[in-house]
């Protein structure tokens, strides 16, 4: 029973196979012996199916392959069967069927390319990327299924983190009319930029970011990286200009550059201007995490009383766990409640609740995490993970 449950989702895929077997068998027999042939079909077919269901893949394959001889008319049946094997994780069987097909000299060039493409997919799914890549190159050379082969190559390069190769392949696909790949290319350039940045090659990192923005001027990831690079090479005025651009493009990500914002203004000796700017940002989009940072800056540059009254005012406008925790922290720093153990207990509870909050959320699949991933670890979509408003634990 467990085996049936395991196979049921793709058993539906067998329906066209059953139909085709029936049709082919029916077609090859005259009307007077049709019922007899149907009986033979049923017996052979169900024998094969029984082997599949009882997890005897080795015995099932020859039964199915025996049912239909390979020719241009039956190839779809073989391809469907191989797909079933691949989907159920039986890569060896899928590969065997596809290799059988490719070995037939009678097959048309187009079907041969299709079999090569599917064989490449078998290897890709099995994680044998080098072999898959070679097969996709063969497909591209054949002149058929060029786009599909390139798309699979693009998948391989992304999984292998071969960003330059991925960019080249995506550019070719764009030239062929697939313009919706532009945001992906921007992400790939961002990945390339990260590699350069990690090696300390800021100039190359900068160039890659420029390329990313050429393909997607609103790529928030590239805009954030550009801020970080500017701060790294001490171009603080540029950094502030870029930060303001992010705030206008996608204010949800403003907290991702907040630490750079504070650093840039500090280095320029303009903390009062910074406080004014952050208050302005907060007016447009109340965010208690931003309030925490502003309150910290007010404490540092003006007075603790002013910070507390600012925090209290913002907390009443937008009540949140983080804001409350921040308020209590500030009061503790001022020495108001340090001797009150009950108050300290409340503070501990609030801090642990704050940690449990999800901070980033994938718009596509719902994946949540405490760190910002540009490619979703769950559904592999790019740029779909966004900060959950009010839950980011801003630091500066």
Nearest CB to Zn ion, comparing residues 209 and 362? 362
Pick one of 103, 280, 353, 379: the residue that binds Zn ion (CB under 5 A): 379
Is residue 258 within the footprint of Zn ion (CB under 5 A)?
A: no
CA distance 386 to 374: 9
Rounded to a whole number of angstroms, the minimum distance from the CB of residue 363 to Zn ion is 8
Give alpha helix (H) positions in the chain.
Answer: 2-11, 14-28, 34-53, 57-67, 75-87, 91-103, 109-125, 129-142, 146-159, 163-175, 182-198, 202-215, 220-232, 236-249, 258-267, 271-284, 288-301, 304-317, 321-333, 341-356
CA distance 288 to 294: 10
Rounded to a whole number of angstroms, the minimum distance from the CB of residue 163 to Zn ion is 20
How far is CA 204 from its chain centroid?
A: 25
Is residue 364 within the footprint of Zn ion (CB under 5 A)?
A: yes
Rounded to a whole number of angstroms, the minimum distance from the CB of residue 255 to Zn ion is 21
Among 139-147, 278-286, 335-343, 376-384, the segment contacting Zn ion (CB under 5 A): 376-384
Is residue 328 within 8 Å of residue 346, measured between CB atoms?
Answer: yes
Nearest CB to Zn ion, comparing residues 126 and 372? 372
Smallest CA-to-CA distance from 120 within 148, 143, 90 is with 148
Is residue 330 within 8 Å of residue 314, measured between CB atoms?
Answer: no
> CA angle, corner 339, sides to 324 and 349, nearest 5?
35
Nearest CB to Zn ion, comparing residues 11 and 379? 379
Among 77-85, 235-243, 256-264, 355-363, the segment contacting Zn ion (CB under 5 A): 355-363
Alpha-carbon dihedral 355, 356, 357, 359, rounded to 10 degrees: 70
Rounded to a whole number of angstroms, the minimum distance from the CB of residue 377 to Zn ion is 8
Rounded to a whole number of angstroms, the minimum distance from the CB of residue 371 to Zn ion is 14
Is residue 167 within the footprint of Zn ion (CB under 5 A)?
A: no
Nearest CB to Zn ion, comparing residues 246 and 362? 362
Cα separation values, 38 from 68, 76, 233, 290, Å = 14, 21, 77, 74
Question: Beta partners for 386?
Answer: 361
Nearest CB to Zn ion, comparing residues 240 and 362? 362
Is residue 382 within the footprint of Zn ion (CB under 5 A)?
A: no
Rounded to a whole number of angstroms, the minimum distance from the CB of residue 361 to Zn ion is 9
Q: How many residues belong to the site for Zn ion (CB under 5 A)?
A: 7
Among 27-35, 168-176, 234-242, 365-373, the segment contacting Zn ion (CB under 5 A): 365-373
Rounded to a whole number of angstroms, the minimum distance from the CB of residue 381 to Zn ion is 5
Is residue 362 within the footprint of Zn ion (CB under 5 A)?
A: yes
Phi first, then psi: give them for residue 378, nearest 5 degrees: -90, -55
Query: Hey, is 371 helix, strand or coil?
Result: coil
CA distance 191 to 208: 9
Nearest CB to Zn ion, comparing residues 190 and 230? 190
Is residue 359 within 8 Å of residue 389, measured between CB atoms?
Answer: no
Among 166-174, 235-243, 325-333, 375-383, the segment contacting Zn ion (CB under 5 A): 375-383
Among 49-57, 122-130, 182-190, 378-386, the segment contacting Zn ion (CB under 5 A): 378-386
Rounded to a whole number of angstroms, the minimum distance from the CB of residue 233 to Zn ion is 34
Size of the chain, expressed as the number of residues it contains? 396
Rounded to a whole number of angstroms, the minimum distance from the CB of residue 358 to Zn ion is 13
The footprint of Zn ion on residues 73-132 (CB under 5 A) is none
Rounded to a whole number of angstroms, the minimum distance from the CB of residue 178 to Zn ion is 22
Nearest CB to Zn ion, comparing residues 120 and 387? 387
Pick one of 107, 367, 387, 390: the residue that binds Zn ion (CB under 5 A): 367
Phi first, then psi: give them for residue 162, nearest 5 degrees: -95, 85
Is residue 360 within the footprint of Zn ion (CB under 5 A)?
A: no
Smallest CA-to-CA distance from 176 within 207, 145, 212, 142 is with 145
Query: Hey, is 369 helix, strand or coil?
Result: strand
Nearest CB to Zn ion, comparing residues 261 and 362? 362
Is residue 376 within the footprint of Zn ion (CB under 5 A)?
A: yes
Tokens of residue 138, six digits:
């063969």
Site residues (CB under 5 A) for Zn ion?
A: 362, 364-365, 367, 376, 378-379
């Amino acid at each position: 029973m467990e085996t049936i449950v395991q196979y049921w989702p793709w058993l539906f895929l067998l329906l066209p196979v059953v139909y085709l077997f029936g049709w082919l068998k029916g077609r090859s027999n005259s009307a007077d012996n049709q019922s007899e042939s149907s009986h033979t079909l049923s017996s052979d077919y169900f024998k094969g199916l029984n082997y599949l269901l009882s997890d005897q893949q080795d015995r099932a394959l020859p039964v199915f392959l025996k049912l239909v001889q390979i020719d241009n008319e039956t190839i779809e049946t073989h391809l469907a069967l191989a797909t079933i094997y691949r989907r159920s994780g039986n890569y060896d069987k899928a590969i065997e069927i596809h290799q059988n097909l490719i070995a037939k000299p009678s097959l048309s060039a187009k079907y041969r390319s299709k079999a090569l493409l599917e064989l490449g997919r078998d290897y890709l799914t099995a994680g044998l990327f080098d072999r898959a890549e070679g097969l996709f190159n063969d497909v591209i050379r054949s002149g058929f299924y060029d786009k599909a082969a390139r798309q699979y190559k693009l998948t391989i390069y992304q999984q292998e983190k071969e960003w330059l190769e991925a960019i080249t392949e995506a550019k070719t696909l764009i030239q062929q009319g697939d313009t919706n790949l532009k945001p992906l290319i921007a992400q790939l350039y961002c990945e390339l930029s990260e590699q350069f940045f990690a090696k300390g090659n800021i100039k190359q990192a900068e160039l890659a970011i420029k390329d990313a923005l050429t393909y997607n001027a609103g790529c928030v990831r590239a805009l954030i990286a550009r801020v970080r690079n500017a701060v790294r090479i001490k171009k603080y005025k540029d950094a502030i200009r870029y930060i303001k651009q992010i705030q206008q493009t996608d204010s949800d990500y403003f907290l991702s550059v907040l630490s750079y914002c504070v650093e840039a203004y500090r280095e320029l000796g303009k903390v009062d201007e910074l406080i004014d700017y952050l208050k302005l940002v907060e007016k447009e989009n109340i965010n208690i995490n931003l309030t925490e940072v502003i309150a910290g800056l007010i404490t540092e540059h003006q007075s603790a009383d002013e910070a507390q009254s600012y925090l209290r005012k913002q907390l009443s406008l937008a009540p949140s766990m983080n804001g409350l925790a921040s308020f209590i922290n500030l009061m503790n720093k001022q020495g108001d409640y340090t001797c009150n153990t009950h108050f300290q207990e409340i503070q501990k509870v609030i801090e642990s609740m704050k940690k449990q909050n999800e901070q980033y959320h994938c718009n596509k699949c719902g994946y949540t995490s405490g760190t910002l991933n540009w490619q979703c670890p769950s559904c592999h979509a790019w740029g779909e993970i966004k900060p959950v408003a009010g839950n980011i634990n801003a630091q500066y």
